[in-house]
Amino acid sequence: MQSTSDTDPLVSVKNLGKQYGPTTAVDGVSFAIRAGEVVGLIGPNGAGKSTLLKALLGLIHYSGELSVLGQSPRSDRAQMLQFLSYIADVASLPEWISVKQLLYFLSGVHPRFNRDLSLRYLQRTEIRLRHKVKALSKGMKTQLHLALIMGIDARLLVLDEPTLGLDIVFRTEFYDTLANEYFNPARSILMTTHQVEEIEQYLTRVMFIHHGRILFDMAMGDIANRFARLKIDSAQMEQARQYKPIYSHTAGGKGVLIFEQQSRESLRPLGFVDTPGLAELFLAKVKGVGDA
């Protein structure tokens, strides 16, 4: 099996494209993900997120060049999946199987699965070995998925809306467990979600995708140095727009403006200045200047 060195990217994507008839789902996408990164792939429905992930997982044909963990998802999928884990937004475990049977099965088929590690996590939940998957709630199924992931010594974890439909307690516990107990500098995580505000604190990097193209790709630590958010009374909007914001809107009599490469010192006399959240930054890059 071809392996990646410490300096090689775990994921390398060059000019990736995917057509569904006349529709372009992914349009010439290029990026790389290295060990130690937690990358958020943010975009609206139909932006190309799921199609991109399916290509990475070897589930669809595509054009361009794609390497995952030193392997081609198209021709070396079996070897690749030994070092890659995946959680989707829909349950993919057989409903008839019990938790005990599932752990036994995975122990027999996956060379990098440690049953004891999974059991250690399950002991903190209300899931019991006798439970069948069909008897578990959606939140418990997600916990079971996470328990299985915790037991696999993978280098890349792909998450596609993993907490969709779960309450805030389950969502918070899920991401805290990944950040504090699963992630390490030798691993990378690529995740998509619509609950952008909940994952900001865990990301090291964010990519915005829209109409099949990557609009934005930046380390989280660089956002505060490049972007600023100004909050002011709406009566001051025209004055603030002289500084050329990339996005602006009003809400409840207050104005909010997003600036790129504008000094915070020049904005502070106008109002309160801080760093925009990812949701606002995404709107700025997609919608541009205007009042939303």
Q: Does pLDDT of 151 surpass 60?
A: yes
pLDDT at 251: 79
What is the tens place of the pLDDT at every residue in 243-274?
A: 999 999 887 888 999 999 999 999 999 999 99
Of how many residues is the chain composed? Answer: 292
Per-residue pLDDT, 198: 87
CATH 3.30.70 fits 223-287, yes or no: yes
Q: Long-range pairs for 49-54 at CB < 8 Å and ≥24 separation?
A: 49/160, 49/192, 49/209, 50/160, 50/192, 51/18, 51/25, 51/26, 51/212, 52/16, 52/26, 52/209, 53/158, 53/160, 53/190, 53/192
Higher pLDDT, residue 254 or 190: 190
pLDDT above 70: residue 2: no
pLDDT value for 7? 75
Average the pLDDT over 123-143 and give the result. 93
- 232: which strand partners? 255
User: In the chain, where are the structural domains located?
Assistant: 11-93+135-211, 223-287
Q: How far apart are CA 159 and CA 53, in angstroms?
A: 9
Task: Give the CATH fold of the 11-93+135-211 domain.
Answer: Rossmann fold (3.40.50)
Q: What pLDDT, on the 0 to 100 scale, is given for residue 19? A: 95
Amino acid residing at 25: A
**Residue 197, Cα to own-chain centre: how many angstroms?**
12
Residues 157-161, mean pLDDT to the nearest whole number: 93
Average pLDDT (221-239) is: 93
Averaged pLDDT, 1-24? 84
Cα 81–Cα 85–Cα 89 angle in degrees, nearest 5: 125
pLDDT reported for residue 292:
42
φ/ψ of 234, rounded to 5, equals -60, -25
The answer to whether residue 114 scores a pLDDT higher than 90 is yes
Q: Is the pLDDT of residue 185 over 60?
A: yes
pLDDT greater than 90 at residue 132? yes
Q: Span 96-105, mean pLDDT?
A: 95
What is the band of 112 on the pLDDT scale with cuts at 50, 70, 90? very high
Mean pLDDT score, 218-236: 94
Share of the chain above pLDDT 90, in %: 80
What are the strands of the beta sheet with 247-251, ordered from one edge?
Answer: 247-251, 254-260, 227-233, 272-274
Predicted local confidence at residue 222, as pLDDT: 97
Q: What is the pLDDT of residues 69-97, one digit of tens each?
A: 999 999 999 999 999 999 887 667 889 99
